[in-house]
Chains A and B, each alone.
Chain A
Amino acid sequence: MEVAKGVRSAVRINGGVDQQRAVELDLESVCEKVSALVSGNAVVVFTISGCCMCHVVKQLLFGLGVGPTVVELDRDASGGPILALLNRLAAGGGGGKAVPAVFVGGKFLGGIETVMACHINGSLVPLLKNAGALWL
């Protein structure tokens, strides 16, 4: 639930127009769905099938021995709303693209750039281990 709150407050900060109030109700349900997904799985990656950067993130995680839960938004019924949500998260982060979006241990980690940076500075593997995505 910590994630869901985090996501909702992030959304509220980035939103703020009349239109957003109506959409927020929908967003609530999407947030719920996403929260459920990410807390139920150690590593969740949201992708779009044609996106090559999504492929990069997947290959990196596979290469480390991680078996992430991959959600292809263009093949998912609620893909659109989830993408909108991810857009807000990405915008909060400062100009990155919405996908790929990586959640580790129920928390939003970031896009390809953040994942790469974490890997190079050595913080990714401990994070994965803590979340139970990696053993040894």
Chain B
Amino acid sequence: MNSTTTQFVPSRRMGLYEPVHQMSMWGDFRNTLLDSSPPPELMLEVNANLDNQSEDTTSQGTFAASHRNDQEASKPDDKVLRRLAQNREAARKSRLRKKAYVQQLENSKLRLIQLEQELNRVRQQGLCVGGGIDTSQLAYTGNSNPGISAFELEYGHWVEEQNRQISDLKNALHSDMGDTELQIFVDGGMQHYFELFSMKVMAARADVFYIMSGMWKTSAERFFLWIGGFRPSELVKQVLSPHLDALSEQQRLDIVNLTQSCQQAEDALSQGMEKLQFILAQAIADGLLQEGNYLPQIGAAMNKLDDLVRFVVQADHLRQETLQQLSRILTTRQAARGLLALGEYLQRLRALSSCWSSRPREQA
């Protein structure tokens, strides 16, 4: 409010004051009465006073208003103009901000499309190294080989089933289950490993290098890799022997013999592998630095790779034979404990891999 109007306010207020005063008197009078309705005479007086006052002020008010308009005539333009200018400025800034935001969105969208394409390309090339499969994470190598993709899927299921069997076995051993029933669990456990060996052989025919590198396993498991799987002698020595209690003398002897036989068979296979590597290297290196293309050498090398599949088959066969011999040597209860020990050992290896891969990295 600017100063010109205020002059008239006091007189207006003064005009209003009197009726208010009178009304407050009437209010008090009203409150003392039991009846809520005021005496009519008093009301009329108040009303009449108000009317008189308003007439006076109106004439004064109108005069004041017209005077006010004259005074403001030069001012409104300035204010309105300034406000309009501010609005324009604000709108312009808003439009600029929106434009910038939309631009940012467009850039992000392009980047996202680029990343997706790159990911698909890398998956197709099978460059992503599998980090191992467990129930929670499927190692997605993006392998375009259907035999291998199928194997990875099946292996994921195998591990889930394995975990189930391990906990079932644990419960079975802690219960007072009889040997006949326990044998069912043992047979089931053995059969499950045999299924894995069959799966691996099929996968080896699809891509032997994949199996030889242990691509479907977790990193810690791969550290112990021997021809695409665990070393039977290590299984007997490290995992089973220390945890088998109450072995008879004959059993002890049998286990020692089994360990030795495993080692001898493994050594023979390892030496065969070395020979294969030597022959393969020779085939590839034949005729280096000479004229002509290297297709014959590659062809010769390809033929040798069939032998590699045979090694995977024989190594898995050795694992199977070892497990079967163990089931012959051990009692039902001992075999059940042995299977549980093996299962838990592999679970721990997988846990080690997870732990290792998620450890906090040092800042460079």
**Do chains A and B stick together as partners?**
yes
List of A residues within 8 angstroms of B321 by Cβ: 116-117, 120-121
Assuming the contacts A119-B261, A120-B325, asked whether A59 and B272 have C-beta atoms less than 8 A apart, the reply is yes
The residues of A that contact B318 with a CB separation of less than 8 Å are: 116, 120
A51 CB–B CB distance under 8 Å: yes
A57's closest neighbor in chain B, by CB?
B268
Most buried by A among B268, B279, B324, B325: B268
Q: Are A53 and B328 in contact (CB under 8 A)?
A: no
The residue in chain B whose Cβ has the minimal distance to the Cβ of A53 is: B310
Residue A94 CB within 8 A of the other chain: no
A119 & B265 in contact (Cβ 8 Å cutoff): yes
Complex interface residues of chain B between 221 and 278 (CB less than 8 A to chain A) = 254, 257-258, 261-262, 264-265, 267-269, 271-273, 275-276
Q: At the interface, yes or no: A1 with Cβ under 8 Å from chain B?
A: no
Dominant secondary structure at the B interface: helix
The answer, yes or no, to whether A128 is at the interface (CB within 8 Å) is no
A60: which B residues are within 8 A, CB to CB? 264-265, 268
User: Which residue from A52, A57, A63 sits with its C-beta under 8 Å from B307?
Assistant: A52
Asked whether, in the complex, the Cβ of A63 is within 8 Å of the Cβ of B325, the reply is no
Complex Cα–Cα for A52 and B269 (A) = 9
**Total chain B interface residues with beta-carbon distance under 8 A:** 27
The yes or no answer to A21 lying at the interface (CB within 8 A) is no
- Least CB distance from B352 to A in Å reads 29
Contact with B along A9-51 (1 / 0, CB 8 A): 0000000000000000000000000000000000000000011
B314 on interface, CB distance cutoff 8 Å: yes
Identify A55's interface contact among B258, B271, B322, CB under 8 A: B271
On chain A, the residues within 8 Å of B276 by CB distance are 52
B211 → chain A closest CB, angstroms: 17
* Residues in chain A near residue B258, CB distance under 8 A: 120, 122
Contacts of A116 in B (CB 8 A): 265, 314, 317-318, 321
A119 to B328 alpha-carbon distance, docked (Å): 15
Q: How many residues of A contact B (CB 8 A)?
A: 20
Cβ of B311 within 8 Å of any chain A Cβ, yes or no, is: yes
Interface residues in A118-135 by Cβ distance below 8 A to B read: 119-122
Q: In whole angstroms, what is the CA distance A115 to B273 when docked? A: 18
- CB-CB contacts of A88-125 with B at 8 A, as 1s and 0s? 00000000010000000000000011001101111000
The verdict on A53 contacting B325 (CB below 8 Å), with A60-B264, A60-B268, A120-B265 known, is no
Nearest-Cβ distance from residue B286 to partner chain A, whole angstroms: 13
Q: How many A-B residue pairs have CB under 8 A?
A: 66
Q: Which of B269, B311, B318 has the most CB of A within 10 A?
A: B269
Give Cα distance in the complex from A38 to B294, angstroms.
Answer: 43
Q: Does A56 contact B (CB under 8 A)?
A: yes
A84 within 8 A of B: no
**Inside 8 A of B317's CB, which chain A residues have their CB?**
113, 116-117
**Contact partner of B314 among A55, A59, A113, A122, CB < 8 A?**
A113
Min distance, Cβ B162 to any Cβ of chain A, angstroms: 24
User: How distant is the Cα of A57 from the Cα of B267 in the complex, in angstroms?
Assistant: 11
- B320–chain A nearest beta-carbon distance, Å: 9
Q: Does A64 lie at the interface of the complex (its beta carbon under 8 Å from any beta carbon of B)? A: yes
- Which residues of chain B have C-beta atoms less than 8 A from A97's C-beta? 310
User: With a CB–CB cut-off of 8 A, which chain B residues contact A52?
Assistant: 272-273, 275-276, 279, 307, 310-311
Can you give 16 A-B contacts (C-beta < 8 A)? A50-B279, A53-B272, A53-B307, A53-B311, A55-B275, A56-B271, A56-B314, A60-B265, A97-B310, A113-B314, A116-B265, A116-B318, A117-B317, A120-B318, A120-B322, A122-B254
Excluding A112-B314, A113-B314, A122-B257, 11 further A-B contacts by CB distance (< 8 Å) are: A50-B279, A51-B307, A52-B307, A52-B311, A53-B310, A59-B267, A116-B265, A117-B321, A119-B264, A119-B265, A120-B262
Q: Residues on A close to B: CB < 8 A? A: 50-53, 55-57, 59-60, 63-64, 97, 112-113, 116-117, 119-122
